[in-house]
DNA sequence: TAGGCCATGTAAAAAGTTACATGATTAC
DNA sequence: GTAATCATGTAACTTTTTACATGGCCTA
């Protein structure tokens, strides 16, 4: 958890178009939510902070008769900060936390007959996520398959979706391979 | 983050053998650190809490003449808590945060000539990590390749290492594919 | 008119990082 | 003797989650 990643995630989203806190919250439920996310409570606080620091500016848009949407835009300062952050080189790979893998490390304390259920649950979750991602992908890039024909904005989206898909496919593949090993082991033991 | 994952990570490590806070800190620099980690400052605080809650017990081991190592063991309560946690089914896939992918989503704000450097840096980091993981793998499983011959404890380790390796290989593969796209795009543009 | 979504916030608590602090042991 | 590593802790701060809280809009 390092130096204000949420700040830059928000600046990045606002560099595409002006958004409200609610819009930003929604974005984290789509493609980019595969690699960073935050709850609305954190986002509203961060927006206030960014406003204070003059990285963003605010204006009101009416949504209906009474409902005020607070829209945010990047300021010059915000644009510069984003630019600089985008060019930073990471110095090390951060731990990508994964509770299932953590549990599996403690395999010896899981009764053998319970293990397949754990794998199957994970397989279900990951398969659902992959389906969601593929749906998104074909919605945005279904017709135009060749990434060379995409503009820079679409290409960012393309990379992130293709990355998420490849991550989930790889995860599912590893789950299947590992589950096979477990099944063979269980079969072995019942022969004895 | 969520429901005391560090607690269970520590209980899990202690179920293999008694350890000190320092030992636990070291473990997070090895295989399991690929999927969960914590700093010593957090670990010592959590150990005190677990001791208060009677999930673990403490004894002193002398390391040298003056140096006292505080060793921790699971209590019956701790063992039960670990058991129950290991059988819990995750209800959703948590965001696996990845700053590089986040940056890449904002690609349109990165000057085209800077992009390859960003990819190459990531490629370097991931390649180094993969080398480290493969070293670990061959150290522990080099001779005995067949996972069917491993006992439950080794198998947990095997799964976690094989998962980390497959994750990094997949990441590198995606980086290379994406970098190719970027190069082709840059070449295209300079032709115009 | 009711339920789901749009929309924005605050407060408290938990989790995690960074910095400060200290001292022993080991191997060269 | 000195540097790396072993060993343990606290304090301040940042980040993230959970819960509380409110009200408008839209569609069936």
Please state the domain extents for chain A.
Answer: 5-87, 99-191
State residue A192's pLDDT score. Answer: 53
Return d(Cα B11, Cα B57) in angstroms, integer.
Answer: 11
Return d(Cα B152, Cα B133) in angstroms, integer.
Answer: 20
CB-based burial label for B59 (10 Å; 0-12, 13-18, 19+): exposed
Q: State what percent of residues in chain B have pLDDT above 70.
A: 96
Element holding B186 (H helix, E strand): helix B152-191
The alpha-helical segments, DSSP class H, found in A28-151 are 40-52, 76-87, 99-105, 115-141
A100 touches strand C (CB under 7 A): no
- Phi, psi for A9 (deg, rounded to 5): -60, -45
- Is residue A191 pLDDT above 70, yes or no? no
- What are the chain A neighbours of B12 within 8 Å (beta carbons)? 102-103, 105-106, 109
Return residues 65-84 of A near B (CB < 8 Å): 82-83
pLDDT tens sequence across B10-29: 999 999 999 999 999 999 99
Cα separations (Å) of B97 from A83, A118, B79, B145? 21, 23, 31, 32
For A151-168, what is the mean pLDDT?
96
What band does A1 get if pLDDT is binned at 50, 70 and 90?
Answer: very low
B99 touches strand C (CB under 7 A): no
Our CA dihedral for B131, B134, B139, B142, rounded to 10 degrees, sits at -140
- Asked if the B5-86 domain carries CATH number 3.90.1150.10, the reply is no
pLDDT tens sequence across B68-127: 999 999 999 999 999 999 999 999 999 999 999 999 999 999 999 999 999 999 999 999
Return d(Cα B16, Cα B33) in angstroms, integer.
Answer: 16
What band does B179 get if pLDDT is binned at 50, 70 and 90?
Answer: very high
Return d(Cα B149, Cα B155) in angstroms, integer.
Answer: 9
State residue B143's pLDDT score. Answer: 67
Which CATH architecture is the domain A5-87 placed in?
Orthogonal Bundle (1.10)
State residue B120's pLDDT score. Answer: 97
Tokens, residue A116: 């397949």
Q: State what percent of residues in chain A have pLDDT above 90.
A: 86
For B37-66, what is the mean pLDDT?
96
């Amino acid at each position: 958890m390092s130096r204000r990643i949420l700040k830059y995630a928000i600046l990045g989203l606002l560099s595409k178009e002006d958004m409200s806190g609610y819009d930003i919250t929604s974005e984290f439920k789509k493609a980019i939510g595969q690699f960073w996310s935050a709850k609305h409570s954190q986002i509203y606080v961060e927006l206030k902070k960014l406003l204070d620091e003059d990285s963003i500016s605010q204006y009101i848009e009416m949504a209906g008769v009474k409902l005020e949407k607070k829209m945010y835009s990047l300021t010059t300062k915000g644009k510069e900060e984003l630019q600089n952050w985008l060019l930073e080189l990471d110095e090390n790979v951060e731990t990508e936390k994964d509770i299932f893998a953590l549990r599996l490390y403690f395999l010896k304390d899981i009764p053998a007959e319970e293990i397949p259920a754990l794998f199957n649950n994970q397989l279900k979750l990951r398969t659902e996520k992959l389906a969601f991602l593929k749906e998104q992908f074909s919605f945005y890039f279904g017709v135009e398959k060749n990434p060379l024909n995409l503009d820079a904005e679409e290409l960012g989206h393309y990379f992130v979706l293709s990355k998420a898909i490849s991550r989930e496919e790889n995860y599912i593949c590893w789950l299947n391979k590992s589950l096979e090993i477990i099944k063979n082991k269980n079969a072995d033991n019942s022969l004895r």
